[in-house]
């Protein structure tokens, strides 16, 4: 077996072991700890008063815009990392091309800032 595959096997074994370890720790705690629920205890926390309304609420639309922007910058990393690894063998053409790509991205960020979507106080 190649060491390449071997490393991924280690990762898989490790993920499984991590899961088992945490599950076992929580399970052990469940065996050891007292269990004494009451109606008041199992209420949702709200600073001591009875909780008002539902705990599941809508989220402000700002967060949605942050998520969209993040998506762009994260997908961009997918392009940039392979390019960074092979930069010198790809040559000057790739360099110029990436400069254009980053310029477009920056233009997008500047547009978002100018539009005020990153503005928090109104």
Partner 1 sequence: MTHFLETVFQSVFWSAVIKVVFVFALLLLTALILVWFERRVVAFMQNRVGPNRAGPFGILQTLADGLKLLFKEGIRPRKVEVGLYLAAPIMAMIPAFLIFLMVPIGAPIHIGETTVTLQGADLNIALLFVLAMSSIAVYAIVLAGWASGSKYPLLGGIRATAQMISYEAAMGLALVPVVVFASSQIAGGSLGVGTMSFSRIVALQAGSFRGPVPGWFVFSLLPSFVIFFTAAIAETNRAPFDLVEAESEIVGGYHTEYSGFRFAIFFLAEYINMFNLSAIAVTLFFGGWLGPGADLPYVGWLVPIFWFLLKTYALLFLFVWIRATLPRLRYDQLMTLGWKWLIPLSLAWLVVFVLLQGVRVFGMPWS
Binding residues for partner 1 restricted to 11-30, rule: CB under 8 A: 11, 13-15, 17-19, 21-23, 25-26, 28-30
Q: Are 101 and 94 in contact (CB under 8 A)?
A: no
The least CB distance from residue 9 to partner 1, in Å, is: 6
Degrees, nearest 5: CA angle 25-29-50: 120
Among 97, 99, 111, 115, binds partner 1 (CB under 8 A): 99
CA nearest neighbour of 55 among 46, 64, 42, 68: 46
CB of 70 to partner 1, least distance (A): 4
Q: How big is the site for partner 1, counted in residues (CB under 8 A)? A: 71
Give, as ranges, the residues between 25 and 64 that touch partner 1 (CB under 8 A).
25-26, 28-30, 32-37, 41-47, 51, 54-57, 59, 63
Among the listed residues 97, 104, 106, 111, the single contact to partner 1 using CB under 8 A:
106
66-70 LR contacts (CB < 8 Å, sep 24+): 69/109, 69/112, 69/117
**73 touches 95 (CB < 8 A):** no
């Amino acid at each position: 077996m190649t060491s390449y595959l071997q490393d991924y096997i280690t990762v898989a074994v490790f993920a499984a072991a991590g899961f088992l370890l945490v599950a076992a720790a929580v399970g052990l705690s469940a065996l050891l700890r007292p269990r004494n629920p009451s109606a008041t205890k199992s209420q949702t926390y709200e600073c001591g008063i009875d909780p008002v309304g539902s705990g599941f609420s809508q989220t402000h639309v700002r967060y949605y815009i942050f998520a969209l922007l993040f998506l762009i910058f994260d997908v961009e990393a997918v392009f940039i990392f392979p390019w960074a690894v092979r930069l010198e063998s790809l040559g000057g053409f790739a360099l110029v091309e990436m400069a254009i790509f980053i310029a477009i991205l920056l233009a997008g960020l500047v547009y978002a800032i100018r539009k005020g979507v990153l503005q928090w106080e109104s």
